[in-house]
A and B are shown apart, each in its own frame.
Chain A
Amino acid sequence: MSRVRVLVGTRKGAFVLTSDGKRERWDVSGPHFAGWEIYHVKASPVEPDRLYASQSSGWFGQVIQRSDDGGGTWEAVGSEFAYDGTPGTHQWYDGTQHPWEFARVWHLEPSLADPDTVYAGVEDAALFRTVDGGKTWKELPGLRNHTSGPSWHPGAGGMCLHTILLDPSQPDRIFTAISAAGAFRSDDGGETWRPINHGLHSEGIPDPYAEVGHCVHRIAMHPSRPGVLFMQKHWDVMRSDDAGESWAEVSGNLPSDFGFPVDIHAHEPETIYVVPIKSDSYHFPPDGKLRVYRSRTGGNEWEALTNGLPQSDCYVNVLRNAMAVDSLDSCGVYFGTTGGQVYASVDAGDTWGPIVRDLPAVLSVEVQTLP
């Protein structure tokens, strides 16, 4: 019978949650790296017991951890993330130019083909890659050196590269997203990049239709249809049918189109999920009701999924990396909250229940479906 492994990064450690295919009873392992911020944990798709974790601390900096046994044991590997050449400057909160400074790794994206190759999205925004299992990391400087780089600026959470999508149909195609610069695409393995933000509209920037400067929160891609992308922006849920060349808003009847995560059903590429949040200044769900919204039409028409989720007095947030799906026949959907709950639905969102309730604030959730 298949198994499911949920990899949870929190403000104070990592947790590994495992269950059989019924997904009724869960074993909780952790905290791993107790006391450290774990921004992301992700497995190699070609070697599922190979996990990579981003462990960081305001005191002691960045560590990358690797496990070769599915999270049972870990080894600290390379931790040096040096920008290529002289890093230059980007726009700071007050409009002045500010030097690029490495803070942490937000996102780890293992290669679709090689367990030793992993991409890392970092703050201040840049893309790094290891080809030796995390021992050494080198920047792919073409992204940071894009001519628009000096105009990029941090969002409230820092100037982070938080989303990396690898196109399974075109190995040299990579999508990234940066807060607050926007989405970018490379068609040559990360050497050169161009912004793909046409159609985005953001009221909070001087030119609402600017080529860069948009606070993209998350992008999702279904592996069977990599040219179709869904985006949760600071405000607005967007869709692209041409690999990011153009975007159209699909917020439709959502109660709020502000939010952080967006994800796609494992077997239905037109079924997508978001978690509406009241606004950028509230960062909690509208009306104190935690509702996942599902569209079965690729956007525009949304239904609230509430069964098993708190529908009163709930004021948690769901962060951008904190939603994922499994690929069992009945697709499981999972998300973690800043209140420390990890909720799961084993029926594609119809009903929900907590796997765990009282973890530290959840930063990231990834799911593996194992044989």
Chain B
Amino acid sequence: MIRVVLPTHLRTLAGIQGEVKLEVPGPVTQASVLDSLEAMHPVLRGRIREGAKRRPFVRFFGCEQDLSHEPPDAPLPDPIAAGAEPFMIVGAIAGG
């Protein structure tokens, strides 16, 4: 199970409480995690990425690293793939 933490506004939009737990088939990457997340919660399509491109004010963190600029198809760190650590989708610190 992959654990995903969403920002408050997206949890509210999708009616989610707490973490999301996902089955991700195949390699665990940003793209495959987001594919599974959007399949489970279609209202999130377009909110985190537009097409394959991350929205400018959305960040991906995990294992105390900024994964935002990693290629979408690069494997995520093992603790995320193993479900030990969450994949965190974060609204960037911007604006007031």
A76 to B92 Cα, complex, angstroms: 23
Q: Is residue A282 contacting chain B, with contact meaning CB distance below 8 A?
A: no
| A60 adjacent to B48 (CB under 8 Å) | yes
Task: List, in ascending order, chain B residues with CB within 8 A of A34's CB.
Answer: 12
Chain A 173-209, CB-CB to B under 8 Å as 1, else 0, gives 0000000000000000000000000000000000000
A245 to B43 Cα, complex, angstroms: 43
In the complex where A36-B9, A63-B13 touch, is A58 in contact with B47 (Cβ < 8 A)? no
Q: Looking at the complex, which of B16-24, B30-38, B50-58, B77-85 is the stretch in contact with chain A?
A: B50-58
Q: Is residue B72 contacting chain A, with contact meaning CB distance below 8 A?
A: no
Q: How far is the CB of A244 from chain B (nearest CB, A)?
A: 35
A79 to B8 Cα, complex, angstroms: 19
The chain A residue with its CB closest to the CB of B92 is A59
| A61 adjacent to B9 (CB under 8 Å) | no
In the complex where A76-B43, A79-B46, A80-B46 touch, is A59 in contact with B58 (Cβ < 8 A)? yes
Chain A 15-40, CB-CB to B under 8 Å as 1, else 0, gives 00000000000000000001110000
The chain B residue with its CB closest to the CB of A80 is B46
The chain A residue with its CB closest to the CB of B47 is A60
The chain B residue with its CB closest to the CB of A55 is B13
Q: Is residue B26 contacting chain A, with contact meaning CB distance below 8 A?
A: no
A222 to B55 Cα, complex, angstroms: 42
| A58 adjacent to B94 (CB under 8 Å) | yes
Chain B 65-93, CB-CB to A under 8 Å as 1, else 0, gives 00000000000000000000000000110
A61 to B43 Cα, complex, angstroms: 12
Q: How far is the CB of B21 from chain A (nearest CB, A)?
A: 22
Q: Is residue B25 contacting chain A, with contact meaning CB distance below 8 A?
A: no
Q: How many A-B residue pairs have CB under 8 A?
A: 39
In the complex where A63-B47, A76-B43, A79-B46 touch, is A58 in contact with B57 (Cβ < 8 A)? yes
| A60 adjacent to B94 (CB under 8 Å) | no
Quick one: which of A36, A60, A80 contacts B55, CB cutoff 8 A?
A60
A63 to B48 Cα, complex, angstroms: 12
Task: List, in ascending order, chain B residues with CB within 8 A of A80's CB.
Answer: 46
The chain B residue with its CB closest to the CB of A76 is B43
| A59 adjacent to B13 (CB under 8 Å) | no
Q: Is residue A57 contacting chain B, with contact meaning CB distance below 8 A?
A: yes
Quick one: which of A36, A59, A63, A79 contacts B57, CB cutoff 8 A?
A59
Interface footprint category on A: 10 to 19
| B91 adjacent to A59 (CB under 8 Å) | yes
Q: How far is the CB of B41 from chain A (nearest CB, A)?
A: 10
| B46 adjacent to A59 (CB under 8 Å) | no
Q: Is residue B63 contacting chain A, with contact meaning CB distance below 8 A?
A: no
A21 to B47 Cα, complex, angstroms: 41
Q: How far is the CB of B46 from chain A (nearest CB, A)?
A: 5
A80 to B44 Cα, complex, angstroms: 12
A36 to B12 Cα, complex, angstroms: 11
A59 to B55 Cα, complex, angstroms: 7
A57 to B55 Cα, complex, angstroms: 11
The chain B residue with its CB closest to the CB of A102 is B50
Quick one: which of A60, A62, A76 contacts B9, CB cutoff 8 A?
A60
A60 to B48 Cα, complex, angstroms: 6
| A61 adjacent to B13 (CB under 8 Å) | no
| B50 adjacent to A60 (CB under 8 Å) | no
A260 to B90 Cα, complex, angstroms: 36
| A61 adjacent to B94 (CB under 8 Å) | no
A243 to B66 Cα, complex, angstroms: 56
| B95 adjacent to A58 (CB under 8 Å) | yes
Known: A60-B13, A60-B58. 8 other contacts (CB 8 A): A35-B9, A35-B12, A58-B95, A59-B7, A60-B10, A60-B47, A63-B43, A63-B47
Q: 5 closest A-B pairs (Cβ-Cβ)?
A: A59-B57, A60-B47, A59-B91, A76-B43, A79-B46
B interface, CB within 8 angstroms of A:
7-10, 12-13, 43, 45-48, 50, 55, 57-58, 91-92, 94-95
A interface, CB within 8 angstroms of B:
34-36, 57-63, 76, 79-80
> Can you pick out 26 interface pairs between chain A and chain B where the beta carbons lie within 8 Å of each other?
A34-B12, A35-B12, A36-B9, A57-B9, A58-B57, A58-B95, A59-B7, A59-B9, A59-B55, A59-B57, A59-B91, A59-B92, A60-B47, A60-B48, A60-B55, A60-B58, A60-B91, A61-B46, A61-B50, A61-B55, A62-B46, A63-B47, A76-B13, A79-B45, A79-B46, A79-B47
